Amino acid sequence: MSSKTISILSYVTIIGWVIAYVKSKDLTTKNDLAVYHLEQGLGFFILSVLVNISLSVIVSIVPAFSFLGYIGIILLILWIFGIINAINEQKKPIPLVGKVFENKFGFLA
């Protein structure tokens, strides 16, 4: 599996991330592009889960805040930016949140 494929797969659900992680271990030389997008994908997945759980709790307590559900659309747009960067083989962080995930997951290196 090529580093580009691993990079793209790292954004496709947590199962896709696990497959990309396992396949990245099979690469003979460590590829910076694959590791970078594995970091971005894992960080974005964790962020998405935390945001969705938080929003679910907030909206269940105060139903008037249901408009906060539009944050999910923002997350979808950011996710698309991550996939586009992986397709173009660019090591660019996901806008707004990607810088936070850089070099945070040492077990990937």
**Measured between alpha carbons, how far is 12 from 20 in angstroms, rounded to an integer?**
9
**pLDDT at position 43:** 93
**pLDDT at position 107:** 81
**pLDDT at position 56:** 93
| HSE, side-chain direction, 13 A CA sphere, residue 34 | 24
CB atoms within 10 A of CB 105: 15
Per-residue 3-state assignment (H helix, E strand, C coil) for 50-88: HHHHHHHHHHHHCHHHHHHHHHHHHHHHHHHHHHHHHHC
**pLDDT at position 106:** 79
**pLDDT at position 28:** 65
Average pLDDT, 10 consecutive residues per value, the chain (109 residues): 89 92 80 89 94 93 90 94 94 91 81
